[in-house]
Amino acid sequence: MRLSDLQDKKVRGLDGETLGRVHEVHCDKGIVTAIMCGPGSFIERLTAKKKGRRIPWECVRKVTDGEVVVTPDPPQRKAKGSTGSRTRQRTPRSSGRPSKR
Amino acid sequence: MTPDSPIKLVSELLDLPLYDNEGKYCGIVDDVELSGGPGKPLKLKALLVGPGAYAGRMPEWAMKLVKLMAGDRITRVPMEKVRTIGTAVHLECPGRALGLYKSETAAGHWIPEGGAL
Amino acid sequence: MNPLELTLGIMTAVGGFVDISELVFAAKAGSTFGYALIWVFAISTIGIIVFSEMSGRVAATAKQPVFNLMRHRLGLKLGLVTLAASVIANLITCAAELGGVALVLNYLTGAPYMLMAVATALAFVLSIWVLPFQWIERTYGLLGLFMIVFAAALIAIHPPWHQIAGGFVPHVPAGLSTKELLKFGYFVVAIVSAVMFPYEVYFYSSGGIEEDWGPKQLLTNRMTAILGMGLGSLLAISILSNSAQLFGPANVDPSLPGTAALEAAIPFGKWGLILALLGMFFAIAGAAVETCLANAYSIAQFFGWIWGRHKKPWEAPRFTITWIVLFALALLIVLTGVDVMVLVEFAILFSILVLPLTYLPLLLLAEDKKYMREYVNGPVSKTLGWFYFGVITLAAVAALPLYFLTSGGNG
């Protein structure tokens, strides 16, 4: 992949909502952390000022020729030995008493 | 800034001039190669130098014009060879080791040497 | 600061200020509107001083020329549009200057115009090949000081100095018809364009890199810009004032450069004419060389090629091929037989349209602390910079309508 495959591409949510165009890609320790999108891309480039919506790279679902598809929330990280369920795990209680829920 | 520092690829890396460790001007960062993709980490892999790297950045008809004027060569500069990134990108090796002067050398065959003060 | 270097720099800027567009429009402005357009020259000169100083400061501090930085700021697509537009504008300007030099040689020697155009182009190529950068700039700039004969001619004809002084005050002459008002507006736009041609900034900033300017040269940069261009502007104003005094009352339309040379011939006779033609030759020749090199700088810097006349021609081969090809293209334009004055009109028009795209990135860069560190724009540069950006944007918007409404200032 190249930076030009991301730059200026339309950003769309999974629900079809257009969120803007990619005008910046943030990188740290050599790894892309987020893309910035929004309508003010030319102004940001010209003035080098921060503007627009930050979307973590983990939220990027698909990159095609014309667009970047993202989810609104970053995916949950899988902890070791977990079932992968999205529900919160209960903290084990030594007394064995059930939680209030 | 080093390649590991927090960096904005479009406004702080793309289109910056490149200088090698001998201080020689080597061209401009025309695109950036990334490895990985959606669902995986996306890593900075290399800088791409040369008019061939414009292909993803402009329409096809403009690319034909550029190819006429400047050719379509691409040279790859691995990120490991980048020392610092600031108002220019500084490399830690000579540009010729990366193949960065090939087009100038080719054009040089057309220019006679002599007569200049 | 080296006093000799500074003096040579200032004198080079003075001798190199006037080109064929300024010559023609100064003379026409004087004969058509008297002293009423002096203030436009004065105000435009302050504008070019502001941007030249800024571009020299950017070159000396960021150690990068304007077009490199412009591409980084505008991005590739818009940068390419700006490059294409400025290359076309500068190429037409170069052709106009080349044609102007050929005309002057035709006046001086009687030799055929087309032959002189070919000989001139070859001479330019040779001079750029042989001479190092500093001497290219100085040869044409210093020999252009023959133009001082126009200032001497103005003093000799005892003009109404109070009217000339009044011309420095911004005003529109009273009692103009709508047609004349539009023509006045066209001349305002044309003078702004002629004085603030984009090639001046590209050449000046690239020249700063050629001469390896650093922060120590910032004072030289400022003084060269202010004194060199300020004094150079007085030569253009002299041409205008001479024309107002000599041609206006006689209803002479100085459309040809040769007519402007008569301004020195009238008070000083044959030697005045020869000195004026020599001054015009070197000033316009210098402009031809500058426009061609400015174009070559822009193209080479945009594509990331090795560039500069501080290198031998074979050390920057693509840059060398570029400026030779550009001269050849300018010569081809001249050899089509198109009238030099038509080329001047188109050069003015194309240049004013490109100016906002040229100066905006420069202005933003000069305010960017990342590049400029402690040499960033101060309040004066900032205010003047944005004021003049507003002026050139207005002029760019008004240029095409005024051109068509006034038939290029002729009707």
Those residues whose C-beta lies under 8 Å from the C-beta of residue A66, and which sit 6 or more positions away, are A9, A10
Which domain range does residue B21 map to? 9-107
Mean pLDDT, residues C75-88 taken together: 87
pLDDT in tens, C10-31: 888 887 889 999 999 999 999 9
Whether residue B114 lies inside any domain: the answer is: no
Q: Any idea which fold A3-70 has?
A: SH3 type barrels. (2.30.30)
- CB C385, CB C377: distance < 8 Å: yes
pLDDT in tens, C331-382: 999 999 999 999 999 999 999 998 998 888 889 889 988 888 899 999 999 9
Chain A residues in contact with C360 (beta carbon < 8 A): 46
Which site among A8, A45, A49 would you substitute to test the C interface, given the most C Cβ atoms closer than 10 Å to its Cβ?
A45
Whether residue B17 lies inside any domain: the answer is: yes
Contact across the interface for B43 and A30, Cβ inside 8 Å: yes
Quickly state the pLDDT bin for A44 (edges 50, 70, 90): low
- What ipTM does the predicted assembly reach? 0.91
- CB A23, CB A7: distance < 8 Å: yes
Q: Which of B25, A42, B53 is nearest to C65 (CA)?
A: B25
Top-tier CATH class for C3-405: mainly alpha
pLDDT at C252 over 80: yes
Tell me, what's the pLDDT at A99?
A: 44
Contact across the interface for A2 and B33, Cβ inside 8 Å: yes
Tell me, what's the pLDDT at A42?
A: 60
* Angle between helical axes of C229-246 and C148-156 (0-180°, round to 10): 40
- Put simply, whether A61 touches C (Cβ < 8 Å) is no
Contact across the interface for C360 and A46, Cβ inside 8 Å: yes
For A3, the closest of B14, B37, B41 (CB atoms) is: B14
For A45, the closest of C73, C360, C368 (CB atoms) is: C73
Chain C residues in contact with A23 (beta carbon < 8 A): none
Contact across the interface for B18 and C132, Cβ inside 8 Å: no
Tell me, what's the pLDDT at A43?
A: 61
Tell me, what's the pLDDT at C96?
A: 95
Helix (H) or strand (E) holding C277: helix C257-303
Contact across the interface for C368 and A48, Cβ inside 8 Å: yes
Contact across the interface for C317 and B110, Cβ inside 8 Å: yes
Chains that touch B (3 or more CB pairs under 8 A): A, C
pLDDT at A89 over 70: no
Quickly state the pLDDT bin for A84 (edges 50, 70, 90): very low
Distance CA C323, CA C87 (A): 12
Tell me, what's the pLDDT at C138?
A: 86
Mean pLDDT, residues C250-265 taken together: 88
pLDDT at C94 over 80: yes
Tell me, what's the pLDDT at C76?
A: 86
When comparing pLDDT for C351 and C5, which is higher? C351
Tell me, what's the pLDDT at B77?
A: 96
For A47, the closest of C75, C364, C370 (CB atoms) is: C364
Q: Quote the mean pLDDT of chain C.
A: 92
Please give the share of chain C, as a percent, with pLDDT higher than 70: 100
Chains that touch A (3 or more CB pairs under 8 A): B, C
Min Cα–Cα distance to chain B from C23, Å = 33
When comparing pLDDT for C28 and A81, which is higher? C28
Mean pLDDT, residues C184-193 taken together: 95
pLDDT at A97 over 50: no
pLDDT in tens, C261-317: 999 999 999 999 999 999 999 999 999 999 999 999 999 998 889 999 989 999 999
DSSP-derived 3-state class of residue C373: helix
- Put simply, whether B93 touches C (Cβ < 8 Å) is no
pLDDT at A95 over 70: no
Q: How many domains does chain B contain in total?
A: 1
CATH code of the domain covering residue B28: 2.30.30.240
Tell me, what's the pLDDT at B1?
A: 85
Tell me, what's the pLDDT at C64?
A: 80
Tell me, what's the pLDDT at C13?
A: 83
Tell me, what's the pLDDT at A76?
A: 53
Which site among B1, B8, B15, B16 would you substitute to test the C interface, given the most C Cβ atoms closer than 10 Å to its Cβ?
B15
Chain A neighbours among B 72-111 (CB < 8 Å)? 79
pLDDT at A81 over 60: no
Those residues whose C-beta lies under 8 Å from the C-beta of residue C282, and which sit 6 or more positions away, are C15, C140, C143, C144, C146
pLDDT in tens, C44-78: 999 999 999 999 999 999 888 778 888 887 788 88
Min Cα–Cα distance to chain C from A48, Å = 8
Residues of chain B with pLDDT under 70: none
Distance CA C241, CA C247 (A): 10
When comparing pLDDT for C310 and C255, which is higher? C310
| Nearest Cα residue in chain B from A74 | B39
pLDDT in tens, C104-133: 999 889 999 999 999 999 999 999 999 988
> Cα-flanking dihedrals φ and ψ of residue C255, to 5°?
-70, -25
Domain boundaries, chain C: 3-405
Contact across the interface for C364 and A45, Cβ inside 8 Å: no
Q: Where is average pLDDT lowest: A75-79, C20-24, C98-102, C364-368? A: A75-79
